Amino acid sequence: MRNRLVSETALAFAPGGPLASNIRGFKPREQQLEMAREVAQLLHGSSGAAVPLVLEAGTGVGKTFGYLIPALLSGKQVIVSTGSKNLQEQLFYKDLPALLQMLDLQVRVALLKGRNNYLCQLLLEQQLDGAQSRSPEVLDDLLRINQWAAASTDGDLGTLATVSEQSPALALVASSKERCSGKRCAFYDSCFTRKARQKSLEARIIVVNHHLFFADRILKDTGFAELLPDADAVIFDEAHLLADIAVTYFGRQLSLAAMQRVLERVEAVYQQELRDTSQLSDLARRCGSRLADWAQMTQASGQSDWRPLLADKELARQCWQLLEEFRALERVMLANIGRSDELDDCLEKWLDYCVQLEQFFNCEDQSAAYSIEQGSRLPTLRMAPIDVAKACQALFEVQTRWLFTSATLQVNRSLNHFCRTLGLKGARELILDSPFDYRRQAILCVPRELGDVRSEGDYQFRRLLEVCEQAINAAKGRTFILFTSHRMLQRVAQALHGRSRYPLLVQGSVGKQTLLKKFRQLGNAVLLGTGSFWEGVDVRGKLLSCVIIDKLPFVSPDDNLYRARAAEISKRQGDPFMELALPQAVIALKQGVGRLIRDESDRGVLILCDNRIVNRSYGQAFLNSLPPMYRTRNLQSALSFLERID
């Protein structure tokens, strides 16, 4: 017998129902209704655990409404977690208000962002007190922020319209863990971060992102109660991103820039409060100088893998000398404990940082990959666990109902890789294919005579360039070219410059959102991108007719974490390529391919300039995982299709 929630959910999608009555041209989609029923079934019943649901919903299924409607109708407290800020804001500001109106529901919803999205009133006060040392532009922005803060009810810096997003003033006043004094703060009662968290505890639907979800579960902030309630259910959208984010939070990272900021605070305490303790200032300055020298030495090595770096005896000696300098400062701070609240807070953080630094220097965890990532001034040390399955399994065994959904979860028509990576045993698995008619709407072309893409020789590069030029002309611009490396992106961009009669938009020239805005405005542009442009970009209609991908997106064999994981798989007689490299590449390719067809009226051509997909046996795993587009190796046939898209 069907439960009430499943029935009410089905009625919402029915002809003459709330969606059909309020959305012009609404057409019930079989896949969307099936998804909504599955989610309703998951949420149905009394409190407690249920079998997790892992669900791939292809592009066009309408997965957002597919999970939001049963969540709203369930009467339960539900956390909805997204992988991107864009989707998080779309859900809160657009989709949820629209659905609440259509369904005639009064449900309290909350949006909770990471703490660096909120204004810290104490930092603003401190910056204004020391404003004479700032540039006129930064001072002007600080005054604008102060004026805005007086009227703001939530302190969300994303709503601040009078200051540029690129203003350095924002970083000076944004809330941060290392600069937060918790309950000791004079602004604790009016703290915007704390108030946002309190709102989320009282809401029925709480919209967060994956980073914040893991931060709440793993890294509870000092001085605050829980960030998120123990909700009845958690829905992860863009769930394909979870494994990489879990690595960040189950691992450790130490920003040496954060340590430098503590040193600057200690110097300020000396200047403003403890002028009788010159040793404090001397040691803080010496530590800062030694830290800069040490960072320069690590950068000169050109090495990112931390363990081989420590094999250098001179560098190892410098590491322990640096730590001894830090311990000397620690002892002086301990000798002055209780004399300054600010110094006490600095000491608390400094002790924690020094313990972490010693752990990085020891590299004792054999089940982790250690790396050093160079920053603009100072590096960040990272420890990444080789396997997060056990940690995730413990997390997802909590008495909660779990939904994991995305358009890109399955590999070779199986969800096993996703479930294995996150330790999801016994989950219910479901793949709902896209309702789009891909064989009519799109062509997948792997041109002949591409050469060996692994060589990146002159012939291969000239052939790639030739394909790009022909496709751009046939599509009249309206093209994305997605690369697996920044080096190849720059090489192709340089070669196309002056040869293309259509505007070229190159990643890195301006911000991502500015590039996308220009692409939409121009109507005939060519966008060259890598990394973030492979996913989360939605350009519908005739503005985008062609997507070109330079090669299959396999992870670099030199990647530290990949090498550590591959070694672990080999130890148990497994196949690192089939178990790790191939599934990761399939998911990444699916993301890139997903940029092309975003609507049932879209038409376009995908050109993959890598013949391994047809020449190697593993290519079938890619083809089985992609939408069923019409396939050809005849470039001219694909170009003719492009020319007919007007």
Is pLDDT of 257 > 70? yes
Question: In this structure, is residue 582 part of a structural domain?
Answer: yes
Residue tagged 């004079």 (tokens): 186
> 44-48, 438-442, 569-573, 613-617: which has the minimum mean pLDDT?
44-48
Residue 267's CB is within 10 A of a number of other CB atoms, namely 15
Task: Give me the phi and psi of 566, to 5 degrees please.
Answer: -60, -40
Q: Are residues 372 and 500 in the same domain?
A: no
Q: Are residues 376 and 445 in the same domain?
A: no
Higher pLDDT, 233 or 397: 233
Average pLDDT over residues 232-248: 95
Question: In this structure, is residue 431 part of a structural domain?
Answer: no
Is pLDDT of 431 > 50? yes
Question: In this structure, is residue 310 part of a structural domain?
Answer: yes
The three-point CA angle 445-446-451 to 5° equals: 155
Q: Are residues 488 and 631 in the same domain?
A: yes
Residue 1: predicted pLDDT: 38
CATH number of the domain at 348, please: 1.20.120
Higher pLDDT, 623 or 454: 623
Q: Are residues 444 and 376 in the same domain?
A: no
- In eight-state DSSP terms, residue 47 is S
Residue 223: predicted pLDDT: 44
The three-point CA angle 225-226-230 to 5° equals: 145
Domain boundary among 109, 140, 174: 174
Task: Give me the phi and psi of 168, to 5 degrees please.
Answer: -65, -15
Residue 478 structure tokens: 């309206």
Average pLDDT over residues 357-375: 89
Q: Are residues 372 and 479 in the same domain?
A: no
**Full residue range of the structural domain in which residue 149 is found:** 119-174
Higher pLDDT, 442 or 86: 442
Q: Are residues 359 and 274 in the same domain?
A: yes
Whole-angstrom distance, CA of residue 542 vs CA of residue 475: 10
| CB distance 377 to 256 below 8 Å | no
Q: Are residues 543 and 446 in the same domain?
A: yes
Question: In this structure, is residue 395 part of a structural domain?
Answer: no
Whole-angstrom distance, CA of residue 227 vs CA of residue 115: 10
Domain boundary among 363, 380, 397: 380
Residue 398: predicted pLDDT: 77
Average pLDDT over residues 325-353: 91
Is pLDDT of 328 > 90? yes
Is pLDDT of 220 > 60? no
Instruction: Give the number of domains in the chain.
Output: 3
Residue 228 structure tokens: 């998120």
Region for 343 from its dihedrals, namely left if φ exceeds 0, alpha if ψ lies in -120 to 50, beta otherwise: alpha
Confidence of residue 509 (pLDDT cuts 50, 70, 90): confident
Is pLDDT of 221 > 50? no
Residue 230: predicted pLDDT: 85
Q: Are residues 445 and 563 in the same domain?
A: yes
Confidence of residue 224 (pLDDT cuts 50, 70, 90): very low
Contacts of 511 (CB under 8 A, 6+ apart): none
Cite the beta strand spans of 92-165 per DSSP E. Answer: 109-111
Whole-angstrom distance, CA of residue 507 vs CA of residue 490: 9
Question: In this structure, is residue 498 part of a structural domain?
Answer: yes
Residue 47: predicted pLDDT: 56
Residue tagged 């591409």 (tokens): 450
Residue 577: predicted pLDDT: 95
Q: Are residues 482 and 591 in the same domain?
A: yes
Contacts of 483 (CB under 8 A, 6+ apart): 489, 492, 528, 529, 530, 550
Question: In this structure, is residue 394 part of a structural domain?
Answer: no
Q: Are residues 376 and 449 in the same domain?
A: no
Q: Are residues 629 and 533 in the same domain?
A: yes
Domain boundary among 139, 158, 174: 174
Query: How far is the first Cα of the chain from the last one, in angstroms, to the nearest whole number?
Result: 51
Residue 559: predicted pLDDT: 87
Helix, strand, or coil here: 482? Answer: strand
Residue 489: predicted pLDDT: 95
pLDDT tens for 106-131 read 999 999 988 889 999 999 998 888 77
Nearest C-alpha neighbor of 386 from the set 372, 371, 375: 371
Confidence of residue 504 (pLDDT cuts 50, 70, 90): very high
CATH number of the domain at 453, please: 3.40.50.300
Would you give the distance in Å from CA 466 to the centre of its chain? 34
Whole-angstrom distance, CA of residue 91 vs CA of residue 72: 13
Question: In this structure, is residue 313 part of a structural domain?
Answer: yes
Beta strand pairing call for 380-385 and 252-255: antiparallel
Q: Are residues 364 and 463 in the same domain?
A: no
